[in-house]
């Protein structure tokens, strides 16, 4: 059977045969037959915006792989820094490559004093740390003017290292500011996750050593969040990157996209929802209300996954390990009951709504002591590696500027009416 489709223009009877390649058909071929007729696809539900070799996602079967490696294996055996290298370079690092990479990231964790003293300190006392992060990442572009040199491999690499390394520092600085605590400088003797925890929680002790199990659990969460192919924030990164903006500006746009409750803000929404439900007895009524259209079950459903999100499975296990140290999050029982009821209810099963990565991640963050406002920030830290891998791929592919078309549904031409005659 031919691996192609044939499109007929019923107005003229003209046809065009378009090959199916890598599971898609080229829209520019379609344009040859139908110039000026556009695919109408709000939300890009049926549109592939690029070719990519970073992450493979099969939503029907719950499969997620970075550069071919199953997420389950990476979560069990790898670390966030190694995964970041893999996403960016396509291969796992050798021992020497990893040592060099870790050293580079470790020695770029400091932020310019003015970023903290003048820029971050200028925010209002109750500023949301995610808003601060979005702005601070954009502001970095004004500190690193060489970032504009995006086709210079050396400069590009330097910005990638800076962004991955400084993200935890900015995130922790935003938190410390929002709770009125002094800024903690990075401790370059610590691993990536442990260093972040030190910048978050250190008070007066000379060195903050996080519980190694908690630092490991956080690192696993970072691995799980490092990339997820063409999600909303990665698409924002690619769209802004396609204009050849510097990577800090593009990354700030990606952070902004991640901020919303439909995307990276969902883990915060889950905790608020579980708190509102209040007790296991209220779960059936809550589910009934959702089915009647009163709100959504936060942390459920996904544009691509139509089965259990593989990351949610791993997170559920990680949650048990964390709760052994921190004590059980009291909201866990409500979450488990909610999952049990939803997964046996026709409304959710028929729509293929399963728990996504955010359903349990918030419970872990909360048990570890992170305030709700920090949840999207905790997502942005590791996703930076994925954003940058896609940004780099985009530039190497010499892609076109992102510029979709529209179906115009407004008024036809009409004459201006002076104000006195309106
Ligand atoms: N609770 C109840 N019903 C839902 C939910 C939900 N969480 N999600 C989807 N539905 C229903 C919709 O009402 C719709 O029903 P209908 O066909 O009767 O109208 C159907 O399922 C399809 O929903 P869409 O909104 O069309 O699905 P879409 O793919 O556009 O949305 C999304 C995906 C945004 C994730 C959605 O499932 C949602 O809002 N979930 C809750 C928020 C959330 O958890 N977001 C995190 C996503 S993962 C991430 O970004 C890391």
Which of 302, 390, 398, 421 does the annotation list as catalytic?
302
The pLDDT value recorded for residue 108 is 96
The pLDDT value recorded for residue 210 is 95
CB 105 within 8 A of CB 164: yes
Assigned architecture for domain 71-264+371-396: Orthogonal Bundle (1.10)
* Cα separation, 102 vs 74, whole angstroms: 17
Q: Which residues contact 113 (CB under 8 A, 6 or more apart)?
A: none
* Cα separation, 36 vs 38, whole angstroms: 6
328 lines ligand 1 (CB under 6 A): no
* Cα separation, 92 vs 101, whole angstroms: 12
* Cα separation, 167 vs 173, whole angstroms: 10
The backbone region for 279, taken as left when phi is positive above 0, alpha when psi lies in -120 to 50, beta otherwise, is beta
Closest by alpha carbon to 200, among 373, 19, 413? 373
What are residue 58's DSSP bridge partners?
63
Q: How many helices (H) and strands (E) in the chain?
A: 18, 6
* Cα separation, 359 vs 309, whole angstroms: 10
Q: List every span in the chain annotated with CATH 1.10.580.10.
A: 71-264+371-396
Q: List every span in the chain annotated with CATH 1.10.230.10.
A: 268-367
3-state helix, strand, coil in the chain (%, to 5): 55, 5, 35
Token pair in block for residue 240:
């802004």
Distances (CA, A) of 422 to 410, 413, 414: 20, 17, 14
Closest by alpha carbon to 110, among 167, 191, 155? 167
Q: How far is CA 353 from the centre of its chain?
A: 20
Site of tokens 């970023």: 115
356 lines ligand 1 (CB under 6 A): yes
Residue whose CA is at the smallest distance from ligand 1 atom 44: 299
The pLDDT value recorded for residue 220 is 97
* Cα separation, 294 vs 280, whole angstroms: 19
Q: Where are the beta strands (DSSP E) in 12-126?
A: 15-21, 24-25, 55-58, 63-66, 69-70
Q: Measured from the CA of 290, which atom of ligand 1 is nearest?
A: 2
**CATH superfamily name and code, 268-367:** Cytochrome P450-Terp, domain 2 (1.10.230.10)
pTM of the model: 0.93
Which of 58, 112, 187, 263 does the annotation list as catalytic?
263
- Is the Cα torsion angle 191, 258, 275, 173 positive or negative in sign? positive
DSSP string, 301-323: --SS-SS--HHHHHHHHHHHHHH
* Cα separation, 135 vs 252, whole angstroms: 7
Task: Tell me the CA–centroid distance for residue 78 and ligand 1, in Å.
Answer: 31
Q: Measured from the CA of 299, which atom of ligand 1 is nearest?
A: 44
Q: What is the pLDDT along the chain (422 residues), one digit of tens a residue?
A: 789 999 999 999 999 999 999 999 999 888 899 999 999 999 999 999 999 999 999 999 999 999 999 999 999 999 999 999 999 999 999 999 999 999 999 999 999 988 888 899 999 988 999 999 999 999 999 999 999 999 999 999 999 999 999 999 999 999 999 899 999 999 999 999 999 999 999 999 999 999 999 999 999 999 999 999 999 999 999 999 999 999 999 999 999 999 998 888 888 889 999 999 999 999 999 999 999 999 899 999 988 888 888 998 899 889 999 999 999 888 999 999 999 999 999 999 999 999 888 888 999 999 999 999 999 999 999 999 999 999 999 999 978 999 999 999 999 999 999 999 99
* Cα separation, 58 vs 245, whole angstroms: 31
266 lines ligand 1 (CB under 6 A): yes
The pLDDT value recorded for residue 2 is 82
Q: What letter would DSSP give residue 356?
A: -
299 lines ligand 1 (CB under 6 A): yes
Question: 175 an active-site residue?
Answer: no
Closest by alpha carbon to 380, among 167, 145, 211, 102? 167
């Amino acid at each position: 059977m031919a691996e192609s489709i044939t499109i007929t223009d019923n107005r003229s009877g003209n046809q065009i045969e378009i090959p199916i390649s890598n599971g898609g058909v080229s829209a520019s071929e379609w344009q040859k037959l139908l110039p000026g007729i556009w695919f109408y696809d709000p939300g890009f539900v049926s549109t592939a915006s690029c070719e990519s070799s970073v992450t493979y996602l099969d939503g029907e079967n719950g499969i997620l792989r970075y550069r071919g490696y199953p997420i389950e294996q990476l979560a069990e055996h790898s670390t966030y820094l190694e995964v970041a290298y893999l996403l960016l370079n396509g291969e796992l690092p050798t021992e020497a490559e990893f040592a060099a990479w870790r050293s580079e990231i470790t020695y770029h964790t400091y932020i310019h004093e003015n970023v903290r003293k003048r820029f971050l300190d200028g925010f209002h006392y109750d500023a949301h740390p995610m808003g601060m992060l979005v702005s601070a990442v954009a502001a970095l572009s004004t500190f690193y003017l060489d970032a504009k040199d995006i086709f210079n491999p050396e400069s590009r690499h330097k910005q990638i290292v800076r962004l991955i390394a400084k993200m935890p520092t900015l995130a922790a600085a935003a938190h410390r500011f929002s709770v009125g605590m002094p800024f903690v400088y990075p401790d370059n003797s610590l691993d990536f996750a442990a260093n972040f925890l030190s910048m978050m929680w250190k008070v007066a002790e000379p060195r903050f050593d996080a519980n190694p199990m908690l630092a490991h659990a956080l690192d696993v969460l970072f691995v799980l969040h490092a990339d997820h192919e063409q999600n909303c924030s990665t698409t924002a990164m690619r769209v802004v990157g396609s204009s050849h903006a510097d990577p800090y500006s593009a990354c700030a746009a990606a952070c902004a996209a991640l901020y919303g409750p439909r995307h990276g803000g969902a883990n915060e929404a889950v905790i608020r929802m579980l708190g509102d439900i209040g007790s296991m007895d209220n779960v059936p009524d809550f589910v009934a209300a959702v089915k009647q259209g009163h709100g959504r079950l936060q942390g459920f459903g996904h544009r691509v996954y139509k089965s259990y999100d593989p990351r949610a499975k791993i997170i559920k296990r990680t949650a048990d390990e964390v709760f052994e140290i921190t004590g059980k999050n009291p909201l866990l029982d409500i979450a488990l009951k909610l999952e049990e009821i939803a997964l046996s209810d026709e409304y959710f099963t028929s729509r293929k709504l399963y728990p996504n990565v955010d359903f349990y991640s918030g419970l872990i963050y909360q048990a570890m002591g992170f305030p709700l406002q920090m949840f999207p920030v905790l997502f942005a830290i590791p996703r930076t590696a994925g954003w940058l891998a896609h940004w780099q791929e985009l530039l190497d592919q010499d892609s076109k500027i992102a510029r979709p078309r529209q179906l115009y549904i407004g008024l036809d031409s009409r004459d201006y009416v002076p104000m006195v005659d309106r």
